[in-house]
Structure 1
Amino acid sequence: MPSQTSAEARGPWRHAGFRTLFTATALSHLSTQIGYVAVPLIAVTSLDATAGEVGLLATLSTLAFLLIGLPAGAWVDRMRHRRVLIAADLTRAALFASVPVAWAAGVLTLEQLYAVVLFSGCATVFFDVGSQSVLPQLVGQEGLLSANAAVVGVQAASNVAGRGAGGGLVALLTAPVAVVGMGILHLAAALRLLALDKAPAPTRPERPTALRTQIAEGLRHVLHHPELRALALTASLCNLGTQLVNTLLPILFTRQLGLSAAWLGLFWAMGGLGILLGSRCARPLAGRLGHGRAIGLAAIVLAPAALVVPFVDRGPWLAVAAVGWMLTTFDIGINNVLSVSLRQTLTPAPLLGRTNATFRFMLSGSLAIGSALAGLLGELAGIRTALWVGAGFLALAFLPVFLSPVRKRRRLPQPLWEAEALVRQPIR
């Protein structure tokens, strides 16, 4: 009988549905990472945005998870997942295509950018919740850890390629032109998702449950479970710190340090490389140290590296800060793979959408708060102060998990969903 590790290693790639989702995720995330560089630089270089306005732009890009994040989980549990994913990518393609059109016509404004990032964030809510809910159904228990490692890995590779390419495209073609590629990539992802199997409409219960009741079920499942609660708190603190740092880097690089967009893209690409390497090391570390220990011990060793990021400057300190950022995101890559896999196995199938939405609500809510706080601190106390606050959150984010039962978990539990039955079902 093959070992579980061997089965995991080959499991997800057997499924055509997973290969389809993997490709679409890669295309969508690559577009997102190009926009991570291009959109704030449009605001800074083309529209003369201030630190507060850049902070508001970043806040609006994640505000959708606060506005519709929780009901989106209940909605996704009721809808055909294939349609949700395709509609989300088509919406984002149309929104980002409007930016270069408006720029070429000379009518691009900050207000349009605000609207684009807000509504594209709404589409991203549905795509993220839907894709994380679909994944266990596609690969089952044996392939879950390998599938999550592959998805986190391709997202990290997109960070490297997308942010590096975003910086280069902005430097060569200007930021609005770089956004053209974003729309094309989202359109390609939508076309790829057409290959997912169709399915009949989800079965409706005889007595429909009120939306607020369904939302409350997802919240209770996460917040009353000691391991899920700790995972959510650690990830939220990590996102808060990350967003505090990332929101103000475009202003620091281009205005205070006088560095080009290409250097900013390379710095962010180092972070993507860290996530990629962390995702590749997650399974071996879990096998050697235990699933929960790998999450906790990696953070103790790597999280303090965030404290060198606020020293970023021209010359050698640029390299030192980039290495510190890469080590910080290496820990994030490990955590992403192991924490998401644990979350999925601790959740019954009917609650997957709402559990994922609850996590996304908390995580992206932290991003929105981090963006707003970055803008406020940048205006009132200075950019370096905001960077130190963000680095502090990153250095201490591991504490909820380290002080919870997660730290003692040796391996993934038996999933609460019936893996083999789910794999045989078509995607809704």
Structure 2
Amino acid sequence: MAWVVRGEFRKLWIGQLVSASGSAITTVALPLVAVVTLQASAVQMGALSALTIAPHLVFGLLAGVWVDRWSLRRVLIWTDLGRLVLLGSVPAVAALGSLRIEQLYVVAVLTGVLTLLSDTASQTMIPSLVPREDLMRANSAALLNFNLASTAGPSVAGFLVQLLSAPFAIIVDAASYVVSAVASYLIREPARAPAPDRSEVRLSAGLRVLFGNRILAPLISSATVASMAGAIQGPLIVLYLIRELHRSPSFVGVQLTTFGVAAVLGTFAATPWCRRVGIGRAYLSGAFLASLTGVALFTGLTPMILLGQVFAGLGMSLFGVPQRTLRQAAAPTHLLGQVTASWRTLVIGGQAVGAGGSGFLATAIGIRPTLLLATAGMLAGVLIAFFSPLRTFRSLPAETPVAS
């Protein structure tokens, strides 16, 4: 994989690695600012969490339209600088003793909008920076950034919060956007296909591409159902381990680390696996592995729980790389931003619904039945893809097969 991180893609990759690492710190530090520094209530914490997700649901489709019309390099630069200012305001105001929960709400919403634009732009830019035959490797390298940051970030964040206090740990994330902005500034952006005329722009354009394509339609349906079911399961895992199985907090840390390490290793295996079994079957195998987590948890056996986390981490990378690569290869170039944003809106929307209903289900039927129900939902997502042309799809399409 390393050799594909070169040329203009290397600049994008470095910038995204640094900013993802900083963001992983803020993911831990910002809630701690609310809890420890501001003594936030449960209602306020819920509002802060919701406001972090809200921009993807409210502005998702619109972000795709913007990204398809603007310079991708400029989007990356200005979103980095915007997040630098917003996150830097937290420790600055905290130092003056004037930090309030309302400021965290504003920071959560605005950084969410800028992150939405940045993520959409970076995924849209990748196909223009690497040859088509290297697209899968490039996506593996991009996913590696996320997995490395997600694995190491919480531990680093905990250390920084202990050393500096929560508000000042966010300085590290703010500083990361300086590096990312410089890396984005150095990118020589390739020429893009002309954007559609304003009179032809529709917020539904990305959705029409996704559901009008014989490969992308089952792919987005599968991903949305599976992400909703996975989000039902996610919030309950720690609760289940601590309250139902009476495991120690250190064991929770071990299983999270196991997942992260497996996800990192999976990014290296994803491209060879896609080449070996075909891109469609690679997606199916990854989604199936990820769906086994709930079964492993249900056994209550330590080896099985850890094995389930290995499956989940490997599976996430094995389905993540082919689904992203197929989306980039099958979508029309001039609509790739809208397709990417529409995808994120549906998948993150599914996650929001799943996470929101998780607690209600667990209260109504119990944690273990809810975990099994979530597993069934994830397997349903696999079946949607299995009973579609995706199962026999081995390589990237030679041309964009989008229905008119």
* TM-score range for the pair, normalised by the shorter chain length: 0.7 to 0.9
Query: Which of 268, 273, 293 is the aligned partner of 1:285?
Result: 273
Match of 2:335 in 1: 351
Match of 1:139 in 2: 130
Letter in 1 for 2:209: H
Structure 1, unpaired ranges of 5+: 1-8, 418-428
Partner SS state of residue 220, structure 2: helix
How far 1:264 moved relative to its partner?
Answer: 6.4
Q: Normalising by the residue count of structure 1, what TM-score does the alignment of the two structures yield? A: 0.81
Once the two structures are superposed, what CA deviation does each residue of 1:373-415 show, in whole Å capped at 9, x if it has no partner? 3465688888778766655544543232222211111222214
Q: Is the 8 A contact 2:286 2:317 kept in 1?
A: no
Tell me the distance in 2 between the aligned counterparts of 1:40 and 1:247.
Answer: 16
Query: Which of 117, 125, 134 is the aligned partner of 2:116?
Result: 125
Match of 1:423 in 2: none
Q: Is the 8 A contact 1:78 1:202 kept in 2?
A: no
How far 1:112 moved relative to its partner?
Answer: 2.5
Partner SS state of residue 350, structure 1: helix
Query: Which of 315, 325, 330 is the aligned partner of 2:309?
Result: 325
Partner SS state of residue 226, structure 1: coil
* Structural mapping, 1:376-415, within 5 Å: 390=374, 393-415=377-399
Tell me the distance in 2 between the aligned counterparts of 1:57 and 1:379.
Answer: 23
* CA 1:86–1:10: 2 relative to 1, 3 Å: same
Match of 2:348 in 1: 364
Structure 1 window deviating more from structure 2 (176-185 vs 105-114): it is: 105-114
Q: Normalising by the residue count of structure 2, what TM-score does the alignment of the two structures yield? A: 0.85
Match of 2:325 in 1: 341
Provide the identity percentage: 30
Letter in 2 for 1:208: R
Match of 1:271 in 2: 259
* Structural mapping, 1:46-85, within 5 Å: 46-49=37-40, 53-85=44-76
Greater relative CO, 1 or 2 (CA 8 Å, sep 6+): 1
Letter in 2 for 1:225: N
* CA 1:240–1:181: 2 relative to 1, 3 Å: farther
2:185 is aligned with 1:194: yes
CA RMSD of aligned residues (A): 3.4
Q: Is the 8 A contact 1:79 1:202 kept in 2?
A: no
* CA 1:198–1:226: 2 relative to 1, 3 Å: closer
How far 1:228 moved relative to its partner?
Answer: 0.9
How far 1:161 moved relative to its partner?
Answer: 1.7
Structure 2, unpaired ranges of 5+: none
Tell me the distance in 2 between the aligned counterparts of 1:191 and 1:263.
Answer: 40
Query: Which of 91, 99, 107 is the aligned partner of 2:90?
Result: 99
How many pairs align?
Answer: 400
Tell me the distance in 2 between the aligned counterparts of 1:135 and 1:116.
Answer: 28
Q: Is the 8 A contact 2:80 2:178 kept in 1?
A: yes
Letter in 1 for 2:133: E
* CA 1:123–1:133: 2 relative to 1, 3 Å: same
Q: Is the 8 A contact 2:76 2:122 kept in 1?
A: yes
How far 1:142 moved relative to its partner?
Answer: 1.6
* Structural mapping, 1:239-318, within 5 Å: 239-247=227-235, 267-309=255-297
